[in-house]
Amino acid sequence: MPENMKFGECLRYLLSVLDISIVKLSKIINVDSSLVNRWVNEKRTPAYNTDYIEKISEYLSSCVLNSFQLQYLDSFYLNVCGDSEIEISTKEKIKKILFQSQGYSIECRKNMIKENKADLMNNKNFLKSIGIHQNHFNQSNDNNLNSNILNTQDSNFSISLSSEDKIVIGYKNVLATSISLLEDASKHKCTNGVIYISFNNNMFVSNHQNDLITFRNAMFKAMNTGWNIIFLLKLDNNINTIIKFIDFAQSFIYTTKFHPYYLKKYDLFSTYQEFIVIPQIGALLGLSNNTYSEIDAAFYFRNKVAIDILKNKVDIIIRNHTNTLVKYYRNDNAIDYSNFLSE
């Protein structure tokens, strides 16, 4: 029985046997090396109506230098094609291997699309079964909706992430995604909307001052369109850290939209994690891959249920384990303000 193998797997094996690099092959068939790289890593497959396989077969067959390579090719040909017709040219063998694997890869992709559609339909049917419809995701009662979903006892139920959900790699990319998320919020004017931001990694203040200014400007932009920002942070007895935080935050105070909270217990949230949660818009959970290093990876969500899961977690922490750092008083509320100062 022939073994089903994907196009990238077959091409990768052939290049290995003949000691040909991706860059070399891309130059010969006149394509960008990134395209060949996607083929080899099974991210793309040549379409049926292209001549890539013909060109690849022509070149690879000319690179066979010895009987050992021929033996590898013959064995691989039998393994993939299951064809005893061994007395054909090397070019034809390579071509048949690639055509066979091309067809298998394309069929696998078709099946995956069908399965994804089926999963999506199952999700929709389940939502309907508990009285929830897709358009509810854009309404203000999302908390009730997602509560119903999260409390379901159906052990087979899962929710697919959206095409916009992703893993972000690299400090600069995490920062850029965070700023982009805040800028997205700025496009939605509101009066009572809340953005949740953590600030646990104190090294970020001293090591990346220019980045901090850029991030602060994005926060300002969001507050100027009506958003409130709940800022969750850890404070210790380090005077320099406190001074730097005051320098960072003092200009926010005049907006009355900035609400910093500090954790009463430090073990509730890791120093090597950061988050931004913007209900109905997006969320980012940043992680550090190494102790004492900056946030260099993050999970980025646009899925409404994922956003609510993170929001609920943050709400619990704020409600039970934090104290407020700033309290605002109206101009006509001098008595309460005086009482606060005298406490």
Length in residues, the chain: 343
> Where are the chain's structural domains?
7-110, 166-342
pLDDT in tens, 115-161: 656 655 655 554 455 444 444 334 444 444 455 555 555 545 577 77
pLDDT in tens, 169-198: 988 888 889 999 999 999 888 878 899 998
pLDDT at 210: 74
Question: How far, CA to CA in Å, does 239 sit from each of 175, 242, 265, 301?
Answer: 26, 5, 19, 36
Architecture of the 166-342 domain: 2-Layer Sandwich (3.30)
Beta carbons within 8 Å of 123's beta carbon, 6+ residues apart: 157, 158, 159, 160
For the segment 266-274, the average pLDDT, to the nearest whole number, is 63
**Total Cβ atoms within 10 A of residue 62:** 12
Return the structure tokens found at 100.
């066979």
For the segment 18-23, the average pLDDT, to the nearest whole number, is 92
Q: Which is higher by pLDDT, 166 or 271?
A: 166
CB 259 within 8 A of CB 228: yes
Cα–Cα distance, 69 to 18 (Å, whole number): 7
Beta carbons within 8 Å of 108's beta carbon, 6+ residues apart: 6
Enter the DSSP assignment of 80: H
Which of helix, strand or coil describes residue 278? Answer: strand
pLDDT class for 54, splitting at 50, 70, 90? very high
Cα-trace Rg, the chain: 29
For the segment 267-279, the average pLDDT, to the nearest whole number, is 75
Cα–Cα distance, 285 to 266 (Å, whole number): 18
Task: Give the chain's mean pLDDT.
Answer: 79
CB 338 within 8 A of CB 197: no
Lowest mean pLDDT among 223-227, 244-248, 296-300: 244-248
